[in-house]
Amino acid sequence: MGKLNDKVAIITGAGQGIGYAGALRLASEGASVVAVDIKMDGVDKLVKEIKDKGGRAISIQADVTNEDSVMEMVNKTVSEFGRIDILYNNAGATKKSDKGVVDMDLDTWNFAMDLVLKSVMLCCKHVIPIMIKNGGGSIINTSSGAGLVGDLSPSAYGAAKAGVINLTRYIATQHGKQNIRCNVVVPGVIVTEASTANVGPLFDLLESHALLPRNGKPEDIANAVVFLASDESGFMTGAEIVIDGGLTMHMPTFGDYMKTGLSI
C-alpha cells in the first residue's frame, strides 16, 4: 500500500527538475498525478513514465499566472478525477536580468512576482474550495534559500520566494480548521537543468559552504514533499522545511575556515 493511495495531486512546474522528481515520487506512493506546465514536452514525458510504471496521470498545459488558466486547470482535474487532495505549488523561474534593486527593471520584477508568488495565491484560491468539499487536503509550496537570506542577486526572485513562506503561514492559519494543511519546502542548491544554467559555475563554491559534502538532488526535495503530502505529517501546518545541506545554518565564514584549517 502506498502512502497516497486514492489521493489526487496537482503539481505545477512539473516538466523538469524538482517538480518532475516530485511528481514521480507522489505517483510512486499511489497518488493520481496531474502534471501541469506551460510547456508540454516535459509533462507529456512525465505522464508516460508514470503510466509505464502502472500509475495514473494526466498532463495539463496551464499558465499559472493567469486566473482563467488556473480555473481551467482545476476544472479539468475535477472532471478527470473527481477531487483534489494535494496541491504542490512548484512553478517558478528567475531571469539573468534579476540583479540588484538599483538596476531592476519592472518587467523582471513583475515576472518574478507573478510566476513565483501570484501563481501560488491563484492555485490556492481555486483549489482550496475543492479541498473543503472533500474534507481537507495538503498544500505544499516551494520557496528557496534565496527567500531566507540576502544576496547580491536575484533580488526579485528572493523577495517573491520570501513572500511564499509567509503566504504559506497565512493559508495555514485561514484554513486549518477546515482540515487543510499548508507547508513550504525551502530548497538550497539543487542540481537541475535550470539551476545549472543560472548558477552552474558556482556549484563548487556553494558546496564548500554547505555542511554536507554535496549539493542537493531533486529527489531530496521530492522525499520531503511526499512526507508533507501524507498523513505522516498530519499534525504539521504552517511549517517550513529547509533542505539545503546546512547552507544557511552557520556563520558565513565557515567555508573559509574549512579551506584554511583555521578554527575559533
pLDDT per residue as tens digits for the range 103-130: 999 999 999 999 999 999 999 999 999 9
Band (pLDDT 50/70/90 cuts) for residue 263 is: low
Average confidence (pLDDT) over 166-182:
99
**In this predicted structure, what is the pLDDT of residue 147?**
92
* Cα–Cα distance for residue pair 192/182, rounded to 1 Å: 25
- Paired with 179 in beta bridges are none
Q: Report the percentage of the chain scoring pLDDT > 70.
A: 93
**In this predicted structure, what is the pLDDT of residue 261?**
65
Higher-confidence residue: 202 or 233? 233
Closest Cα to residue 33, out of 18, 11, 15? 11
> Is a pLDDT exceeding 60 seen at residue 46?
yes
Closest Cα to residue 141, out of 161, 114, 111? 161
Band (pLDDT 50/70/90 cuts) for residue 244 is: very high
**In this predicted structure, what is the pLDDT of residue 177?**
99
Band (pLDDT 50/70/90 cuts) for residue 215 is: confident
Least trusted range by pLDDT, from 14-18, 216-220, 246-250: 246-250
- Asked if the peptide bond before residue 252 counts as cis, ω within 30 degrees of 0, the response is no
Average confidence (pLDDT) over 43-55:
98
> Is a pLDDT exceeding 60 seen at residue 262?
no
Beta-strand relationship, 32-37 and 8-12: parallel
Higher-confidence residue: 229 or 247? 229
Band (pLDDT 50/70/90 cuts) for residue 152 is: confident
* Cα–Cα distance for residue pair 51/57, rounded to 1 Å: 7
Name residue, grid cell 559552504. Answer: 209
* Cα–Cα distance for residue pair 7/230, rounded to 1 Å: 9
> Is a pLDDT exceeding 80 seen at residue 256?
no
Average confidence (pLDDT) over 160-185:
99
Q: State CA 17 to chain mean position distance.
A: 10
Band (pLDDT 50/70/90 cuts) for residue 56 is: very high
Q: How many CB atoms lie within 10 A of CB 193?
A: 12
Where b means 16+ CB within 10 Å and e means fewer, 29-62 reads bbbbbbbbbbeeebbeebbeebeeeebbbbbbeb
CA distances from 222 to 21, 178, 208, 211 (A): 6, 26, 24, 20
> Is a pLDDT exceeding 90 seen at residue 200?
no
- Paired with 10 in beta bridges are 34, 87
- What residues are annotated to the active site? 157
**In this predicted structure, what is the pLDDT of residue 198?**
66
pLDDT per residue as tens digits for the range 201-212: 677 777 777 888
